[in-house]
Amino acid sequence: MSAEPVAQEQVTHEQVRSSPAAGGARVRVCGVRHHGPGSARAVLAALESLQPDVVLLEGPADADPLVALAGAADMEPPVALLAHVTGEPRTSAFWPFAVFSPEWQALRWAVLHGVPVRFCDLPAAAVLAMRDDGSGTGEPEGAESGGAEPGPGREDGEPPRGDGEEHGDDGPRDGAAPGTAELLRADPLAALAAAAGYDDPERWWDDVVESRLDAPAPFDVITDAMAAVREHAPALPAAEEERETRREAHMRQVLRAVLKEGAQRVAVVCGAWHAPALSGKLPPAAADARTLRGLPRRRVSLTWVPWTHSRLAAASGYGAGVDSPGWYHHLFTSPDEPVTRWLIAVAGVLRAEDLPVSTASVIEAVRLADALAVMRGRPLAGLAEVTEATRAVLCEGDESALHLVTRRLVVGEALGRVPAETPAVPLDSDLRATAKALRLKLDPLERTLELDLRKDTDLARSRLLHRLALLGVDWGRAAASLTRSTGTFRETWQLVWRPELAVDVIEASVWGTTVEAAATARAVERAGEATLPQLTALVERCLLAGLPQALPPVLRALDVRAAADADVEHLMTALPPLVRAHRYSDVRRTGSGDLAQVADALLVRVCAALPAAVVSLDDDAARDLRRAVDAVHEAVGLWEDPRGSRLWSATLAGLVAVEPGRQGPPGLLAGRIVRLLRDSGDLPAAEAARRLGFTLSRGTPAPAAAGWVEGFLGSGGGTVLVHDEDLLALLDAWVCSLPEREFTDVLPLLRRTFGGFAAPERRALGDALRRGSGARRGEGRSAGVDEERAAPALRTAAMLLGVPA
């Protein structure tokens, strides 16, 4: 087959094929490429020519009640049909449509012209049921699996690459040179392209169909070519072959029903692979009826949901995806001067990023793209040509700028809209109404949202996003700084709306009809199965989300779990979130009087259980408990409760009290506790230095002493040593006194300790050690200081401070 006869084939009204089974009724089968702008234009031309009585579309047959919504003024592609098993939203599938999808244009044409339109593929009820029982897994090529991370639209071995779908790297471009039989089944377009003398199936399809701006697609020739491909294609595995047979049997049954109802002119828009099965004389209906007998079904719900161009892209994993949805949208919506208009848009994107692009550069890029098309024998410059022109002229070889153009324009991130009357679960309606009231746009582009919780609108936005996060609808992601905050007036969110979140909303609808009610019910349900640390984190999330109705049952569960949990580390892990939640209540104007009582009881349990928990710990357990002690100490300081502070300080002091015959905590933990007591003022600095000196005496093994030093100097210990030269001298003397073998043993511990200091702290320590070395040599600490010259500065400082000179 050569490309020229195909490209020049003209299809007229008189060439419409007749179906003998229909008594002379004319059936026009339009085999298309899913999401192809050339196919979409050709389908519109064929519909205008035929003026059919009925239009049949490849799509789930049980979606017919949703057809009328396609004509709504506020229906804006890209959109998708969403089908999910009733009561099991995770078992779902999508059928996406873009403006440039042939099926969408046929659907809109039929609705706007008052022509009956029906979907003819297997019902979604059967598609999802077959996935469950394994009898032919996967979805039709127009479908995409549902779930949190939607998978590809086709499963292993899905044949209909010949539907005109975009090809991945498994085609001839990977250089694998598959056999002819395998290529016919895996990529029939590649086989047709090879027969026409093309080494790239995408370029062949573009030349034959997509770039034909002045003539309809050669549907009859494509059907004949696909018939030849199907005749020589190898068989599929049994389950997949059964599914394909059922699909085409169902399409023929719907076509027979339409013809039986008296339709005289029928237009069928389907993937090119299926065109031969629906053209010409139909086989006996009895055979198709037997094929469909016993078809499994599930109870499903269907609706329209917004979609995005990025989810139409093949890179997203969508089986019928295209590489360049933004480019295809441009080709369909800008049939006149598409190359010029495209490169003007490219210049706009680059200029928006403050990159210099002149009008003369755009003109040169247009000329280069046209020249490349002529050199390659193409009727019109395609994406490859305009991309090379963009790289060479507008981006000057800068791949990062070209990547920006690809992301913004070639793929694009357009988000569709569906009418308000579209069937939706009440939770989804409440979410959209609340987002609209709070001026939050469901945008597919990631953006940063800064919130000031002192403002009513921002506080309401924060609560909505936290409630959705509690429900598993991850529209917003809190900035990392929020999780470390001890209670501020600021929050930072990264917002991006992904189409598959529609499934998450449906799944969350089992908890309630409004976002607040659903989040409350979900929190109460989680409380029944959560561990103690999870419960305290849940309390914090309830306060962040503003769920006062959820707090009482969650707090009761927390109190019961804390009384029964004997693991002191669990108790210590549970306390900081409670204290943070109590602190947040001031910022968020949420009543939390019960939190103080629960936190107080929890602290009492921690102080009672901690002395027994610090005995006989190995190194790893000591490190874990040290982190827990740090967290509780920080929480007690944040709490600002005098009674709790005294109780905690007394407990820490008792842990490191020196008593004959009493085994204390390991050195790592003991050193940390002494440091915490010193910093809080509960232990004099001189006493802390005395204990350090006692630890560094010859009677203490070097590894134990190094562990004590690591605990004492961790988290800011460098600053302590810089400002307390007595401690530094004591530590320096101990290190210098170590025998070579012991020094080698403790060196890794000391490196880990001092390696954690900031670079300025290490420099300051080095200077202090040099000064200390000079003092030991008799130079004195004031060496190099001219006291007579320093006297005026000292008098001035004393006057400013109001102290005697």
Alpha-carbon distance of 697 to 691, in angstroms, equals 10
Where along the chain do its domains lie?
3-316, 336-411, 426-511, 684-805
pLDDT higher than threshold 50 for residue 15: no
Q: β-pairing, 447-452 with 88-97? A: unpaired
The token pair at 208 is 């034959």
More confident call, 725 vs 134: 725
Burial of 40 from C-beta contacts in 10 A (0-12 / 13-18 / 19+): buried
pLDDT score of 97: 92
Count Cβ atoms within 10 A of the Cβ of residue 789 and give its class: 0-12 exposed, 13-18 middle, 19 or more buried: exposed
pLDDT score, position 780: 43
* Tokens encoding 353: 């990023």
- Return d(Cα 328, Cα 345) in angstroms, integer: 14
Alpha carbon separation from 405 to 327, 346, 394, 754 (Å, rounded): 11, 7, 10, 48
Average confidence (pLDDT) over 37-61: 90
Give 144's pLDDT tier (boundaries 50, 70, 90): low
pLDDT over 90, % of the chain: 17
Q: SS3 letters for 695-763?
A: HCCCCCCHHHHHHHHHHHHCCCHHHHHHHCHHHHHHHHHHHHHCCHHHHHHHHHHHHHHHHCCCHHHHH
Burial (CB < 10 A; 0-12, 13-18, 19+), residue 570, is middle
Taking the C-alpha atoms of residue 151 and residue 318, their distance in angstroms, rounded to an integer, is 7
Cα 6 versus chain centre, distance: 44
Residues 288 and 277 sit within 8 Å (Cβ to Cβ): no
Category of 617 on φ-ψ map: left (φ > 0), alpha (ψ -120 to 50) or beta: beta
- pLDDT at position 718 is 67
The pLDDT, as a whole number, for residue 781 is 44
Which pLDDT score, from 0 to 100, does residue 158 have? Answer: 33
Mean pLDDT of 141-167: 39
- Stated length of the chain: 805
Query: Are the CB atoms for 224 and 20 separated by under 8 Å?
Result: no
pLDDT band, residue 131 (cuts 50/70/90): confident
pLDDT for 574: 75
Tell whether the model's pLDDT for residue 155 goes beyond 70. Answer: no
How far is Cα 666 from Cα 37, in angstroms, rounded to an integer?
A: 73
Residue 363 above 90 pLDDT? yes
Q: Give the distance, in angstroms, between the CA of residue 733 and the centroid of all CA atoms in the same chain.
A: 55
What digits encode the pLDDT tens for the residues 224-282? 888 888 887 777 788 888 888 999 999 999 999 999 998 899 999 998 889 999 988 88
Q: What is the structure's pLDDT at 591?
A: 52
The average pLDDT across 166-170 equals: 32
pLDDT at 208 exceeding the cut of 80: no
Please tell me the predicted confidence (pLDDT) of residue 5.
Answer: 32
* pLDDT band per the 50, 70, 90 thresholds, residue 609: confident
Q: Looking at residues 82-94, what average pLDDT do you find? A: 82
Element (H, E) at 304: strand 300-306
- Residue 778 confidence (pLDDT): 43
Segment 457-468 mean pLDDT: 91
Round to whole Å and give the CA distance between 83 and 145: 10
What confidence score (pLDDT) does residue 213 get? 57
Q: Pull the structure tokens for residue 161.
A: 């690459």
- Main-chain dihedrals φ then ψ at residue 32, nearest 5 degrees: -120, 170
pLDDT digits (tens, 9 = 90+) for 275-298: 999 988 888 899 999 999 988 999
Element of type H or E holding 559? helix 551-564
pLDDT surpasses 50 at 1: no
Structure-block tokens of residue 325: 């949805």
Measured CA distances, 776 to 727, 732, 733 (Å): 15, 12, 11
Separation CA 459–CA 457 (nearest Å): 5
- Residue 786's identity, in one-letter code, is D
Residues 327-342: what's their mean pLDDT? 87
What is the structure's pLDDT at 483? 45
- Entry pTM: 0.63
Please write the tens of the pLDDT for every residue from 571-601.
787 777 777 766 665 555 555 556 677 777 7
Per-residue pLDDT for 159 more than 50?
A: no
Closest CA to 59 of 1, 27, 25, 101: 101
Q: Note the pLDDT tens digit of each residue in 341-359.
A: 999 999 999 998 888 899 9
Q: What is the C-alpha to C-alpha distance for residues 790 and 804, in angstroms, rounded to an integer?
A: 16
Distance CA 528, CA 446 (A): 35
Task: Please provide the DSSP assignment of 317-367 as one string.
Answer: T-TT-BS-HHHHHHHHH--SSHHHHHHHHHHHHHHHTT----HHHHHHHHH
Spatial distance between the Cα atoms of 290 and 284, rounded to a whole number of angstroms: 11
CB contact set of 527 (below 8 Å; sequence gap of 6+): 535, 538, 553, 554, 557, 558
**Confidence class for position 371, pLDDT limits 50, 70, 90:** very high
SS3 category, 211 = coil
Distance CA 585, CA 550 (A): 15
Nearest Cα to 72, choosing from 108, 106, 44, 47?
Answer: 108
**Residues 394, 397, 398, CA angle at the centre, nearest 5°?**
90
How many alpha carbons lie under 13 Å from residue 389 in its C-beta half-sphere?
A: 26
Task: At 142, give phi and psi (nearest 5°).
Answer: -85, 0
Pairing of strands 265-271, 54-60: parallel
**Averaged confidence pLDDT in the chain:** 77
DSSP E strand boundaries for 553-635: none
Q: Which two tokens stand for residue 378?
A: 């193409």
- What is the side-by-side order of every strand in the sheet holding 79-85? 144-145, 88-97, 79-85, 300-306
Please check the confidence at residue 730 and state whether its pLDDT lies above 80. Answer: no
| 515-539 residue pLDDT tens | 998 899 889 888 877 887 888 788 8
Rounded Cα distance, 530 and 38, in Å: 56
pLDDT at 784: 54
CA distances from 697 to 432, 701, 702 (A): 69, 9, 9
User: Would the pLDDT of 96 be above 60?
Assistant: yes
User: Could you tell me which of 439, 32, 416 has the C-alpha nearest to residue 219?
Assistant: 32
